Structure 1
Amino acid sequence: MPKTTKGRPTGMKGGAGQGGNGIFNVGTAGVTRLFQTALRRQISWFLPLALFGMVAAYLAAYDRKKKWWQTNRKQQDVLYWAGWLIPVGAFFSVANFFHPYYTIMLAPPLAVLAALAITSGLKKATSKRDDKRARWLRYLLFMGLGTTACLQSYYVWAYYPWLSLVILILTAVALVMITLIPAKERLFLTLGVGFLCLAPGFWSLTSTISGESAAVPTTGPSLLSRGGTATGLGTGTVNTQLIKYLKQHNGKSTTYLFATTDSNTAAPYIIKTGQAVMTIGGYNGTDNAISLKKFKQLVKDGKVKYFYISSHTNNNAIVKWVKKYGTKVSSSAYGGTSSQTKGVGAMGSTNATLYRLSASK
């Protein structure tokens, strides 16, 4: 295992929003992808327990008086959560491209099925009428907890070897005590589950502790070593002179401070002013969120009077119309050549152009 340096394994590259794994790194497609380096510390902390829980909960609710295909309400609940976990997990296992934080869609079924593994094992373990089934449920519970502890220790080792040992030892002790002192099994089982929450609990807090603001958020100690990131929506620098100019020249009937192509450009100004900014291209400027006809009607109605075109603008129908019929505003009028240009979508950039729109065109 690699050695660690200030909370990050040596040899791992870190970058804005990467969490030590690369911003778009989601591993290699296949059945083991959720257990690979890129995703396992993001979503797979309780995946083994959930898989064992899916089987245990279904068997615990099985009614021998019914046919095998006849299910009761509890079994249907298990099938519901399994029907969420399996296809979504399969998608992430084979998909070509997605952001790591999309795997948050697996969190609800993982949490429910992991909880069902514990409750099912406890309820049937106290039953004297069905000892054989109770033993199998106990085996499934122990295998789920043991496998989860082993994998969590493996996940954590690259950062904190001592924490890996703590998880393994304490979980093993809890399982042994459950076996030796059945009367206290609820107490020791609670402690065992608590030990398994140590690592994922800490990982989930790292983005908050580091003050990260990323367009593609991740978690992990790597964020702590570099003090978080600031690459998300709303982190770009705003041109305060531009805001002043627009407020002076926009009429009372104007709905939007200005229109632009993408959310990354608009977000800092929405946050700064609290006013609406139209994004005709959605998140990154490539979507056709509004037709040219509707946009021209908004201009005619006086709802939007200015349009900002950045250097990365998609040259769609609206942008072409703005360039053809709009009137360029001199950058000196709003401090475009002297304002800060740092950050995403900075309006002071010399590559950006502000246009005044005419309702008569």
Structure 2
Amino acid sequence: MTTTAAHRTRSAPERTSLGLLLVATATLYLWNLSESGWGNSFYAAAAQAGAQSWKAWLFGSLDAGNAITVDKPPAAMWVMGLSARIFGVNSWAILAPQALMGVASVWLLYLAVKRWFGHVAGLLAGAALALTPVAVLMFRYDNPDALLVLLMTAAAYTTVRATETASGKWLVWTGVLLGFGFLTKMMQAFLVLPAFALVYLVAAPTTPGKRIKHLLLAGLALVVSAGWFIALVSLWPASSRPYIAGSTNNTLWELALGYNGLGRILGGSGNGGGGGGGNTGFGGATGIGRLFGTSMGTEISWLLPAALIAMVAVLAVTWTAPRTDRARAGMLLWGGWLLVTGVTFSYMSGTIHPYYTVALAPPIAAVAGIGARVLWLYRAETWARIVLAGMVLATAGWGFVLLGRTGWMPELRWAALAAGTVAAIALIAPAAQLRRLAVIGVVAGLLSTGLGSAAYATATVGVAHTGSIPSSGPSGTSGMGGGPGGGGFSRTDNESSSRGEAPSSPAPGGGRGGGSSSNSELTALLKASTTRWSAAVSGATSAADLELASGTAVIALGGWNGSDPSPTLAEFQASVAAGDIRYFVSGGGMGGGGGQGGTATESSQIATWVATTYTATTVGGSTIYDLTVTK
């Protein structure tokens, strides 16, 4: 089956419905945005550093003094840092860019699906993405995932444009976008490459030689758009730039291949000092059922059963279609993205968190929307109506299970199940009667497939989310720590008092206080400092909280997971001798990912040296050492 091109000029009703979708998405993502304060204070501190220092902005430093970077490449920090420079360092300036990225992602997904499958399919896909719970969560948060999803969705759109006309120029744009995806979250951006390359190789209307040539040019564009920054970091003297956090040898190459590469896939065997600490418990046990499990299920799997059914059905019906058939090409593109990324997330044995699944939201939404459209065109066939009914009933039934797990709004799960049953009965009706039942079936189908997910996604907006492991839904859970490395446990905001936090007290700049930033006396002391770094403290979480509260640069000894060899004892002693560090704050803590293979030897040696050389004092309950006064 070859679908007709659907990229004609939009009619007034189409423009109106698209506008309503985008306005509703913007309202959902921007509403009460500052309720989450700094969100992930680790990245918020990097944005603040970028607003204070152009070098910190360029490298994605955690501190304006440029001691160490965050453990990801800096593209997301570039966006937030520029926003903070323009609008000031506050919660809204740091979180709003991600919300706007979410609106742009919905728009681009609509455009990509509409080109081949029409306005209705595009609207269904866009709405499904907008109302995916993990998408609502991450498009209101300051992790790099929002920018990653935007870039991958944009790359899917350019691949659609390239494939329909065999355009090498559009395919080069795909390479450029994925290259910047690498500069956002490294190897994760490349999980879509097999699907994008396959659909062009199979379906582009030109000769095999030109298809291969265009793919090679797109590959070159990818290498250039990602490689320029790697070359910059490699050529820049290490002594005058920040340490590359997460790497064992201060290089981006090792960070990409180890901590953020094989370490994530293979666990500890991938990289002993990086992202492979075996922290799979946050995403559930490895296996084909992980995406449906208790950790990830409510984040992403609401439409997953329907998408899988649709993908199999459309590929089956187009198996013998012409090479350039767009229904099959659409499933190769979006279904390939879904399968490769989904299988990777299901079986990776390194650090993984449920919010990673936001990368699956666009393909699930697209496959479900495309499948519904293609099968509806076959509605005169009994098998097509049965498959459509199966998609609706599977979604309603699985939503019934997911809502049952949470115990939230029990009446909603029954309403969705009832609507799904009605829709399935209407859709299975004989073709002669289907016309009369079509409105009932469509309305009931939309209610049953979208009700649970939409309600759960909307509930996400009503609560604050902070820390490194946020989760969607009405519970207000947030992960321990302020960084992305993972670790710790989930908690609710009303538990924060047990950790000495003050989540309801605004910190300077519009964020929420937490940990060390709640100590007003210590904050005032650091603000009065005039040194390059006001203080040093063990671990990125404590450093980030102090930076956001005081507006000063703080050295995070050991980086995110506490095991980065930066600074060494000798380097720290030299900085103290030069008068670059005023205070040492005792205690602190890792970013939440401690124990990922490092021993924190350097940090321990520094703490021991400080304790034996300087006198401890207490400031607002915190133990500090004035590094300008020896014993």
* TM-score, reference length from structure 2: 0.42
Correspondence for 2:538:
261
Correspondence for 1:274:
551
Q: 1:118 to 1:92 in 2, by over 3 A?
A: same
Superposition deviation, residue 47 in structure 1: 0.8
Q: Is the 8 A contact 1:207 1:228 kept in 2?
A: no
Instruction: Tell me, yes or no, if structure 1 residue 46 matches structure 2 residue 317.
Output: no
Q: Is the 8 A contact 2:338 2:363 kept in 1?
A: yes
SS at match of 2:564: coil
Correspondence for 1:354:
625
Q: Is the 8 A contact 1:149 1:168 kept in 2?
A: yes
Superposition deviation, residue 61 in structure 1: 5.6
Q: Is the 8 A contact 1:211 1:229 kept in 2?
A: no
Alignment of 1:17-166 (within 5 A): 24=281, 26-59=283-316, 64=321, 66=322, 70=323, 72=325, 74-96=327-349, 98-125=352-379, 135-158=382-405, 159=407, 160-166=409-415
Superposition deviation, residue 44 in structure 1: 1.3
Q: 1:106 to 1:250 in 2, by over 3 A?
A: same
Instruction: Tell me, yes or no, if structure 1 residue 328 matches structure 2 residue 605.
Output: no
Correspondence for 1:195:
448
Output the CA distance in 2 between the equivalents of 1:315 and 1:157: 43
SS at match of 2:462: helix
Q: Is the 8 A contact 1:171 1:192 kept in 2?
A: yes
From 590, 599, 602, the equivalent of 1:317 is 602
Output the CA distance in 1 between the equivalents of 2:455 and 2:628: 51
> For each residue in 1:231-263, what CA deviation from the matched residue of structure 2 results, as whole angstroms up to 9, or x when unmatched?
899521432222222333424xx2x33232322
Q: Is the 8 A contact 1:26 1:39 kept in 2?
A: yes
SS at match of 2:370: helix
Q: 1:104 to 1:290 in 2, by over 3 A?
A: farther
Q: Sequence identity, in percent?
A: 25
Output the CA distance in 1 between the equivalents of 2:470 and 2:354: 8
Output the CA distance in 2 between the equivalents of 1:321 and 1:227: 34
Output the CA distance in 2 between the equivalents of 1:329 and 1:76: 69
Superposition deviation, residue 147 in structure 1: 1.1
Tell me whether 98-107 or 285-294 shows the greater mean CA deviation.
285-294
Correspondence for 1:15:
none
Output the CA distance in 1 between the equivalents of 2:387 and 2:558: 51
Instruction: Tell me, yes or no, if structure 1 residue 246 matches structure 2 residue 526.
Output: yes
SS at match of 1:197: helix
Q: Is the 8 A contact 1:27 1:38 kept in 2?
A: yes
**What is the CA RMSD across the aligned residues, in angstroms?**
3.8
Output the CA distance in 2 between the equivalents of 1:60 and 1:296: 70
Unmatched 5+ residue regions in structure 1? Answer: 1-22, 126-130, 341-347
Output the CA distance in 2 between the equivalents of 1:193 and 1:301: 66
Output the CA distance in 1 between the equivalents of 2:312 and 2:582: 61
Superposition deviation, residue 199 in structure 1: 1.5
Aligned AA (2:401): Y
Output the CA distance in 1 between the equivalents of 2:465 and 2:285: 27
* TM-score, reference length from structure 1: 0.68
Correspondence for 1:17:
none
Number of equivalenced pairs: 307
SS at match of 1:282: coil
> For each residue in 1:306-356, what CA deviation from the matched residue of structure 2 results, as whole angstroms up to 9, or x when unmatched?
333416576433552464378535414xx2xxx25xxxxxxx1xxx44352
